[in-house]
Chains A and B, each alone.
Chain A
Amino acid sequence: MMGATRTYMRRRATNYTMIALCGLATLAAVGILLLVLGYTLVHGIAYLNLEFVTQTARPLGEPGGGMRHEIVGTMVLVGLASLLGIPVGLLAGTYLSEFGGRVGSLVRLVADVLTGIPSVVVGIFAYAVLVRPMGTFSALSAAVALAIIMLPVVARTTEEMMKLVPQTYREAALALGIPRWRVIVSVVVPGATVGIVTGSMLAVARIAGETAPLIFTALGNRFGFAGLGEPIAALPLQIWRYAVSPYDSWHQQAWAAAFLLVMLVLVISVLVRWLTASRHG
């Protein structure tokens, strides 16, 4: 009887210990997130001001200055990459959802694998394909690299969202004698719009902070936007360069820039969550 009780006590202790450890792991994961967000927000707000957004970088030693060029550069890059990546991604996702078959199954796997290809490799690829032949670093090559990173993300979310549109909708439309392409454009796409928009927004959030591919393509530019065939400045690139520099004033600017990036990602994530929640609710 004593033995049985002891076994039971031990089992119960193990049970509670392991449950506590699982809870602790979750606390740690959430804690790290809050720490990173907290530091970025606190440091960022301390160094962020109107000048940071409207002024350009000053020479070392002179106080003030900002990242206007970098902010404009990131907006140009993200916009151009979206223009290139989202339409192709939408079409590819449409094929996966509406036509599929054996080709679709292969492409789906390829899209998942592409999502896992390191962004640094995508950057080197854009360098090999565009920068080397053109002989110059350029905004265009950077936008292409970012578009390649967006493409599989947009394609897969589009597919998932279009598959959520009930099959009966398609059949009802087909029964009216409407051609298939028209059914997809006028019935399936409107039904999946919210999902497709949120998927594209998540892809934008992902590339806005991408740094590695820009090293080999955008390069950076101290003199502002000079056209798509020229090097271009970008916020994440400047965060990295300033962070590894030895100057305190540059570190502060890096934190302020990080704050902007994190705010962008936060706003998009919360917006996406709100959009998807209101659709299900």
Chain B
Amino acid sequence: MARPQTIEDQTHGRAWRSLLRRPASPGDRLFQGTTLLAALSLLGLLLAMAAYLFYVAWPSIARFGVRFLTGSTWDPVKEVFGALPAIYGTLLTSALAMLVAVPVSLGVAIFLAELSPRWLRAPASFLVEMLAAIPSVVLGLWGLFVMAPVLYPLEKWLASSLGFVPLFRGPVFGGVNFLAGGLILSIMALPIITAVVRDAILTVPAAQREAMLALGATRWEAISQAVLPYARSGIVAASILGLGRAVGETMAVTMVVGNGYRLTARLFAPGNTMASKIATQFNEASGLEINALVELALVLFAVALVVNLAGRLLVRWTVARAAGGGQ
């Protein structure tokens, strides 16, 4: 922690701050006030989101209470709305996505940070980042017309040979199901996990791996026993942020998850997530169903808020620790 202050630190911190405290000219005050207002608008937006979602969701909250979260029927005719299958769908597809994306992203990050030849590093990083830039609806289009038809025969084979496992029980309809949703989500979570893990690995001091290599370790032993443990909190933070991405992702998963609303362990069953339920149902909804869909958005907001807050704080802590020299 007690790092000696450089001249850069002192000028950046103390001198600059003392200038701030000096009585400012009217122009300065106006300028600072305007920028402060803009900055505070971000905070205001977050608070307004919570307030407005709660306000519009209130009729549904008042009517159903906890039953909204535990009920499993969504019946606009009888005006009974339970979100459990959608919540379950979000959990199932996100878990699938993490199961695929975390190991693959780890591999990609390790390759980019530790193994890749120097000339390949920048272009490969660029390509992986490009994956995040593809619009969700385009990825959904691809998933629907290219990925799902490819998965279909594979799923039929799994259902016929491993059908005794509840996860793989048939019937299989056309490749649009929980599994496809999870796989598409894994593609969308991959770039952010990779980027955060790679940055975490790059903060590991070179001495850490050199010491290991000097003891006669292989490259992989140095990575797995000296580098990855050091970057552990960064890896956890990356996974949390990836989870946040998977939980809130809407269009791509809406297009490939099917449109079922049942609690089932079958990966080959069509399903829904919270986000996809909102997207598919909204334009046909009226009356109380709209309030119920907004309540679903409120739940999603709360989950995203907690997950992202946790992830970001962990990233900050990791960076601060690395800058402080580490413990």
A residues neighboring B (CB under 8 Å) = 11-12, 14-15, 18-19, 21-26, 28-30, 32-33, 35-37, 39-40, 88-92, 94-96, 98-99, 101, 103-104, 106-107, 109-122, 124-125, 127-129, 132, 148, 151-152, 155, 167-168, 170-171, 174, 179-182, 184, 205-206, 208-212, 215-216, 219, 236, 239-240, 243-244, 251, 254-255, 258, 261-262, 265-266, 269, 273
Contact = CB atoms under 8 A, between A and B. Distances in A.
Nearest 10 CB-CB pairings of A with B: A209-B135, A118-B248, A25-B107, A91-B38, A116-B308, A181-B31, A95-B35, A15-B218, A212-B250, A124-B297
Interface stretch (B75-83, B109-117, B160-168, B204-212): B109-117
Contact of A258 (B15, B27, B141, B308): B141
12 contacts: A15-B221, A29-B190, A113-B46, A121-B297, A124-B293, A124-B294, A129-B48, A205-B133, A210-B136, A215-B282, A262-B135, A265-B135
A36 B183 CA distance: 14
Nearest to A12: B218
B222 to A, nearest CB: 10
Interface stretch (B60-68, B91-99, B262-270, B298-306): B298-306
Contacts of A39: 142, 145-146
Contacts of B103: 25
B275 interface: yes
A98 to B, nearest CB: 7
Contacts of A114: 42, 45-46
Given A92-B35, A181-B30, A167 B218 contact: no
Interface of B: 8, 11-12, 15-16, 19-20, 24-25, 27-28, 30-32, 34-43, 45-46, 48-49, 52-53, 55-56, 103-108, 110-112, 115-116, 124, 126-128, 130-131, 133-142, 144-146, 187, 190, 194, 218-221, 223-224, 241, 244-245, 247-251, 254-255, 275, 278-279, 282-283, 293-294, 297, 300-301, 304-305, 307-309, 311-313, 316
Contacts of A206: 133
B135 A132 contact: no
Most B CB within 10 A of own CB, among A11, A88, A216: A216
A197 B224 CA distance: 40
Contacts of A210: 135-136
B241 A180 contact: no
Given A94-B35, A112-B312, A121-B297, A262 B134 contact: yes
Nearest to B308: A116
B20 A99 contact: yes
Q: Chain B interface mostly helix, strand, loop or mixed?
A: helix
A118 B20 contact: no
A43 B31 CA distance: 51
Most B CB within 10 A of own CB, among A180, A184, A236, A251: A180
Contacts of A23: 111, 115
Contacts of A94: 35, 38
Contact of B11 (A11, A28, A171): A171
A118 B250 contact: yes
B134 A117 contact: no
A212 B251 contact: yes
Most B CB within 10 A of own CB, among A121, A151, A254: A121
A107 B282 contact: no
A19 B219 contact: yes
B127 A30 contact: yes
Contacts of B248: 116-121
A153 B284 CA distance: 32
Contacts of B115: 19, 22-23
Contacts of B28: 179-181
B31 A110 contact: no
Contacts of A215: 279, 282-283
A26 B220 contact: no
Nearest to A18: B220
A237 to B, nearest CB: 8
Most B CB within 10 A of own CB, among A112, A167, A181, A265: A181
B7 to A, nearest CB: 10
A219 to B, nearest CB: 7
Contacts of A11: 218, 221
B38 A92 contact: yes
Contact of B279 (A22, A212, A266): A212
B139 A36 contact: yes
B35 A121 contact: no
Contact of B49 (A109, A117, A212): A117
B131 A113 contact: no
B39 A155 contact: yes
A118 to B, nearest CB: 3
Contact of B55 (A128, A239, A262): A128
A118 B138 contact: no
A273 B127 CA distance: 11
